[in-house]
């Protein structure tokens, strides 16, 4: 059994493509069920309205006639004349019915309308029949009204199976062709009148006919790849589901997964007939299989869907507590008013009972309940009926939810993270569907957040990078190298979605390739707007967000508190936040708590060396810091390691800058400010309230060069040569060497400057850019704990930043693992 929807039979070319898909293998036979061509049923509904109201309908009917005839003429069907004649007869019958409808009233008019609505299916069935080769090709043409007998029941149309089977047997005797093309959507009543299975009822027709024809399988051909985990227009990461159980498919269909009509499943489930949903645009793709087995999925939740435009009705009152029959009266009132109930929720206190109904039916429902409880309201036993409109219902569906602890917790946490408030909750004892009513305005954000919660790795992070300079670019290259492996090995899924320079930003819908991301900041990129940048990084469809600030900007650091409070993690080698104004530092600490976010900055001291982590471990395990001594500048270490008098100091400064060791402005290094910042960061890490102004700093930059522009300063570097050479000569004269050292002593005095040290001093045994940090503590009192190694350079600094990024990603994974255990 193949069923083709309106888009799959929209024109001659699509009909021919569909015919190729439906052609059976030699040992099989096919039944093909078709919908009307796209838009035709809507046009017929309008024609019916026009004829009923006395408005002109002839032009509209003619347009339909032309559309079908054009499709016939464009087709390559061998029996084209016969096809045109059949369509013409159909068009004449439509005209006659509309003519009659214009005069008819009451039941006669209703029957005519039901007949007219089915005209589109009759025409597309003729077109498909011809495309498949017609009777000569072994295909019979079936107007489903000949065999499919249905009755309107309490909860919708249902089939009279016995009568239908008898009629099919009789029809079969007259139509012995192996294969059949049948109309969807239309059927007959027990008394022989035309009727329909309701809008979009062709899926249901296919299921009913599959049962009657004893089909081995049903394929619904549509224009999507199968059933997806969520609406792909709202959730870019939605994935195709390989398999669903009948029950899962029912839940998803009822909850708005538009790919399948809700009534399709039951007839197939009873007979155990598997249903395939496949794309006629990509027939080689596997689609989704729906049967009794389903398949265990990666996630306990198979699908998420949203039903828009809903309202909550809530009956409240202490007089209801323990009184039998309240619910019966309430639902009877809604039934009487023709209001369908989508979701029901009642707390065990029985103080209130609430249900979710369509927004368009809410006022009617409220009036009906108020009337039903008028006496109780007047007597004060019931307070009244509250109505909240502007809601939608988000449903999480999956057999795997059953008996699986923590599914609701994950959903609720995902929604909470996306700042979505839940108004009502319902879950039946089947545990297959967990529904929440939320504000309509939150729908998209909620769906994306819930999807991310169940389908993406908990270590999926939306990443924005600021400052693609020396360190930023090195980090991008490292990310490019390592990310694919990390994703496969450890589930760490870092998605670079935004990049910002000092003048431009680029915001991307999907993940950028890190290696080329910096090239997107050309003159045609958008002007830098860090608010837009942060809002974009904090995407609702990804579970976590992180900004990596590789700038040296104080203005960027000034944003951290807001970003952290908004739940964005921050990683940075930028020292401004850690060493800046105390009040800002304190605000950042608070924001981390309110935003449940992390702020890591290991690379601010010692680049890739574990300096801050070491100090933090000492403090966290109860040690007490006495003092910190050492060399905290990679640039100054390299300069004094290299400065032996053979080359001028200025040439070495230029080389250090070219090697990416210096700050963007080398005066930050030479002035001692950069080292003072590091000392402040370490002191604060150890719980001291040190500020930059408290540090005694020796400035190596001559006064005259301090206020120059960067370029002018770089052009005047030679002014450093004579004073530095004089200091070196003096040190050598004492048998000493020069090193730039920093010290925080037990009394809290902080000093930074150049010292002439004896050759056996530890600092004299460093190489290149080595930093050397000695922590003297209560536990390491006699022999300090030493961290030593390269302390500057883009590669090692980027690695330090990357380490922090991974620490956060792993913590997110561990948290999820712990939660699901
Ligand atoms: N180079 C090194 O060895 C180490 C550097 N660091 C720190 O890493 C950071 C970056 O250093 P480098 O890459 O060497 O500097 P850089 O000057 O090469 O790169 C800085 C980048 O930030 C951008 N930028 C500046 N202001 C900005 C703003 N307001 N908004 C957006 N972007 C802005 C610049 O355009 C540039 O692309 C600095 O904070 C530095 O202190 C830390 C440890 C070692
Ligand atoms: N310019 C700095 C870079 C690291 O913070 C240094 O040389 O140490």
How do the domains of the chain map onto residue ranges?
Answer: 2-223, 303-455, 460-606+801-819, 611-791
**Active-site residue list:** 678
Ligand sitting nearest the alpha carbon of 794: 1
3-state helix, strand, coil in the chain (%, to 5): 45, 20, 30
Q: Does ligand 2 have an atom closer than 6 angstroms to the CB of 427?
A: no
- The interface pTM score, or ipTM, of the predicted complex is 0.97
Rounded Cα distance between 301 and 404, Å, is: 10
Q: Does ligand 2 have an atom closer than 6 angstroms to the CB of 666?
A: no
Ligand sitting nearest the alpha carbon of 798: 1
Nearest ligand 2 atom to alpha carbon 638: 7
Mutate to test the pocket of ligand 2, among 632, 791, 797 (most ligand atoms within 8 A of CB): 791
Tell me, in angstroms, the distance from the centre of ligand 1 to residue 794's CA: 10
Tell me, in angstroms, the distance from the centre of ligand 1 to residue 689's CA: 26
Taking CA atoms, 479 is separated from 63, 71, 493, 630, in Å, by 59, 54, 11, 32
Classify burial at 214, counting beta carbons within 10 Å of its beta carbon; exposed 0-12, middle 13-18, buried 19 or more: exposed
| 373: its two tokens | 């409880």
Q: Does ligand 2 have an atom closer than 6 angstroms to the CB of 444?
A: no
Strands 568-571 and 544-549: parallel
Tell me, in angstroms, the distance from the centre of ligand 2 to residue 173's CA: 91
Rg (the chain; Cα; Å): 37
Q: Which CATH superfamily is domain 303-455 in?
A: VC0802-like (3.30.2130.10)
Pocket lining for ligand 1, CB < 6 angstroms:
466-472, 500-502, 528, 550-553, 555-556, 573-575, 603, 607, 634, 660-661, 663-664, 792-794, 797
pLDDT for 49: 96
pLDDT for 490: 86
pLDDT for 252: 80
Taking CA atoms, 262 is separated from 269, 295, 401, in Å, by 12, 20, 21
pLDDT for 251: 81
Q: Does ligand 2 have an atom closer than 6 angstroms to the CB of 800?
A: no
Rounded Cα distance between 313 and 388, Å, is: 7
Mutate to test the pocket of ligand 1, among 471, 680, 802 (most ligand atoms within 8 A of CB): 471
Backbone angles phi, psi at 493, to 5 degrees: -120, 90
Nearest ligand 2 atom to alpha carbon 669: 1
CA angle 313-334-151, nearest 5°?
A: 140
Q: Does ligand 2 have an atom closer than 6 angstroms to the CB of 635?
A: yes
Nearest ligand 2 atom to alpha carbon 668: 1
Residue carrying the six token digits 């988000």: 394
CATH 3.30.360.10 given to domain 611-791: yes
Q: Does ligand 2 have an atom closer than 6 angstroms to the CB of 579?
A: no
Residue carrying the six token digits 């079969």: 172
Rounded Cα distance between 335 and 284, Å, is: 46
Q: Does ligand 2 have an atom closer than 6 angstroms to the CB of 638?
A: no
Atom 1 of ligand 2 has which residue's CA nearest to it? 662
Rounded Cα distance between 310 and 333, Å, is: 18
Nearest ligand 1 atom to alpha carbon 555: 29
Domain 2-223 class, CATH top level: alpha beta
Atom 6 of ligand 1 has which residue's CA nearest to it? 573
Ligand sitting nearest the alpha carbon of 632: 2
Mutate to test the pocket of ligand 2, among 634, 740, 766, 797 (most ligand atoms within 8 A of CB): 634
Taking CA atoms, 609 is separated from 563, 615, 631, 640, 682, in Å, by 27, 12, 13, 20, 13
pLDDT for 358: 95
Maximal CA-CA distance, the chain: 120
Question: Taking the complete model, does pTM exceed 0.80, yes or no?
Answer: no
Atom 4 of ligand 2 has which residue's CA nearest to it? 792
pLDDT for 667: 98
Per DSSP, the three-state class of 221 is strand
Q: Does ligand 2 have an atom closer than 6 angstroms to the CB of 791?
A: yes
Is residue 547 a contact partner of residue 775, using CB atoms and an 8 Å limit? no
CA angle 743-749-755, nearest 5°?
A: 35
Atom 19 of ligand 1 has which residue's CA nearest to it? 469
Rounded Cα distance between 333 and 320, Å, is: 16
Tell me, in angstroms, the distance from the centre of ligand 1 to residue 746's CA: 33
CA angle 634-640-642, nearest 5°?
A: 95
Helices of type H across 374-418: 374-378, 407-417
Alpha-carbon 601 to chain mean position: 29
Atom 31 of ligand 1 has which residue's CA nearest to it? 502
Rounded Cα distance between 356 and 361, Å, is: 10
Q: Pick out the chain residues at pLDDT < 70.
A: 154-155, 254-259, 296-298, 429, 540, 816-821
Is residue 619 a contact partner of residue 598, using CB atoms and an 8 Å limit? no
Ligand sitting nearest the alpha carbon of 666: 2
Tell me, in angstroms, the distance from the centre of ligand 1 to residue 265's CA: 60
Atom 33 of ligand 1 has which residue's CA nearest to it? 502
The CATH number given to 460-606+801-819 is 3.40.50.720
Helices of type H across 440-548: 443-455, 470-490, 514-517, 530-537
Nearest ligand 2 atom to alpha carbon 663: 1
Per DSSP, the three-state class of 575 is coil
DSSP 138-184: TEEEE-GGGT-EEEEETTEEEE-HHHHHHHHHHHHHH---SEEEEES
Ligand sitting nearest the alpha carbon of 656: 2
What count of other Cβ atoms lies within 10 Å of the Cβ of residue 689? Answer: 12
Is residue 691 a contact partner of residue 680, using CB atoms and an 8 Å limit? yes
Tell me, in angstroms, the distance from the centre of ligand 2 to residue 730's CA: 27
Q: Does ligand 2 have an atom closer than 6 angstroms to the CB of 442?
A: no
DSSP 240: B
Which is nearest to 445 in space by CA: 464, 425, 417, 423? 417
Helices of type H across 302-395: 326-336, 359-372, 374-378
pLDDT for 256: 54
Tell me, in angstroms, the distance from the centre of ligand 1 to residue 550's CA: 5
Ligand sitting nearest the alpha carbon of 799: 1
Tell me, in angstroms, the distance from the centre of ligand 2 to residue 633's CA: 5
């Amino acid at each position: 059994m193949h069923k083709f929807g309106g888009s799959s039979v929209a024109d001659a070319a699509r009909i021919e493509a569909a015919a190729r898909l439906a052609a059976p293998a030699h040992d099989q036979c096919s039944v093909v069920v078709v919908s009307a061509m796209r838009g035709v049923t809507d046009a017929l509904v309008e024609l019916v309205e026009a004829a009923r109201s006395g408005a002109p309908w002839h032009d509209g009917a003619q347009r339909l006639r032309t559309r079908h005839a054009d499709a016939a003429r464009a087709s390559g069907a061998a029996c084209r004349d016969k096809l045109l004649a059949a369509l013409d007869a159909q068009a004449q019958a439509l005209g006659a019915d509309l003519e009659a409808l214009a005069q008819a009233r009451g039941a006669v008019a209703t029957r005519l309308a039901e007949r007219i609505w089915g005209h589109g299916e009759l025409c597309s069935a003729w077109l498909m029949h011809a495309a498949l080769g017609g009777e000569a090709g072994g295909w019979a043409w079936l107007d489903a009204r000949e065999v499919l007998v249905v009755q309107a029941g309490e909860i919708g149309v249902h089939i009279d199976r016995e009568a239908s089977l008898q009629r099919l047997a009789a029809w079969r005797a007259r139509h012995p062709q192996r294969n059949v093309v049948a109309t969807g959507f239309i059927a007959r009543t027990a008394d022989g009148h035309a009727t329909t299975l309701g809008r979009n009822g062709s899926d249901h027709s296919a299921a009913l006919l599959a049962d009657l024809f004893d089909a081995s399988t049903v394929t619904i051909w549509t224009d999507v790849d199968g059933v997806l985990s969520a609406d792909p227009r709202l959730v870019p990461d939605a994935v195709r589901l390989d398999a669903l159980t009948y029950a899962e498919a029912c839940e998803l269909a009822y909850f708005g997964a538009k790919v399948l009509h809700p009534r399709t499943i039951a007839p197939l489930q009873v007979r155990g007939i598997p249903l395939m949903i496949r794309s006629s645009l990509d027939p080689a793709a596997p689609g989704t299989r729906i049967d009794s087995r389903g398949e265990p999925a990666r996630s306990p939740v198979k699908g998420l869907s949203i039903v828009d435009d809903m309202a909550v009705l809530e009956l409240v009152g202490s007089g209801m507590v323990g009184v039998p029959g309240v619910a019966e009266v309430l639902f009877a009132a809604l039934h009487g008013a023709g209001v369908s109930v989508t979701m029901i929720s009642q707390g065990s206190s029985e103080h209130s009972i609430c249900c979710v109904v369509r927004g368009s039916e809410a006022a009617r429902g409220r009036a009906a309940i108020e009337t039903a409880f008028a006496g109780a309201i007047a007597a004060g036993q019931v307070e009244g009926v509250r109505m909240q409109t502007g809601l939608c219902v988000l449903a999480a569906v999956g057999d795997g939810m059953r008996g699986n602890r923590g599914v609701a917790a994950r959903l609720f946490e995902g929604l909470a993270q996306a700042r979505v408030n839940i108004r009502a909750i319902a879950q039946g004892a089947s545990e297959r569907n967990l529904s929440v009513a939320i504000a309509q305005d939150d729908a998209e954000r909620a769906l994306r957040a819930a999807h991310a919660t169940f389908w993406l790795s908990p270590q999926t992070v939306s990443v924005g990078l600021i400052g693609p300079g020396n360190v930023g670019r090195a980090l991008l290259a490292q990310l490019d190298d390592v990310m694919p492996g990390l994703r496969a090995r450890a589930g760490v899924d870092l998605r670079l979605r935004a990049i910002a320079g000092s003048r431009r930003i680029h915001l991307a819908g999907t993940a950028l390739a890190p290696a080329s991301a910096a090239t997107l900041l050309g003159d045609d990129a958008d002007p830098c707007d860090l608010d837009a940048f942060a809002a974009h990084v904090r995407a609702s469809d990804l579970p976590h967000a992180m900004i990596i600030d590789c700038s040296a900007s104080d203005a960027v650091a000034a944003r951290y508190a807001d970003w952290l409070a908004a739940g964005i993690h921050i990683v940075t080698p930028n020292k401004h936040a850690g060493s800046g104004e105390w009040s800002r530092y304190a605000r950042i600490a608070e924001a981390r708590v309110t935003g449940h976010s992390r702020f890591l900055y290991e690379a601010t001291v010692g680049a890739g060396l574990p300096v801050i982590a070491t100090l933090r471990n000492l403090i966290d395990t109860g040690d007490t810091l006495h003092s910190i001594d050492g060399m905290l500048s990679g640039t100054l270490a390299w300069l004094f390691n290299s400065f032996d008098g053979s080359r001028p100091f200025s040439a070495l400064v230029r080389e250090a800058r070219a090697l990416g060791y210096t700050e963007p402005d080398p005066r930050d290094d030479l002035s001692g400010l950069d080292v003072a910042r590091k000392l402040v960061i370490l002191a604060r890490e150890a719980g001291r309230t040190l500020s930059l102004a408290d540090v005694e700093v020796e400035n190596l930059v001559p006064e005259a060069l301090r206020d120059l522009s960067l370029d002018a300063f770089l052009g005047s570097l030679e002014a450093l040569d004579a004073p530095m050479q004089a200091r070196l000569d003096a040190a050598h004269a004492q048998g000493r060497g020069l090193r730039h050292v920093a010290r925080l002593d037990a009394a809290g005095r902080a000093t930074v400057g150049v010292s002439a040290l004896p050759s056996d001093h530890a600092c004299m045994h460093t190489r290149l850019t080595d930093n050397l940090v000695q922590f003297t503590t209560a536990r390491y009192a006699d022999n300090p704990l030493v961290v030593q190694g390269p302390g500057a350079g883009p590669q090692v600094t980027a690695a330090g930043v990357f380490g922090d990024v991974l620490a956060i990603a792993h913590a997110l994974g561990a948290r999820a693992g712990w939660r699901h255990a």
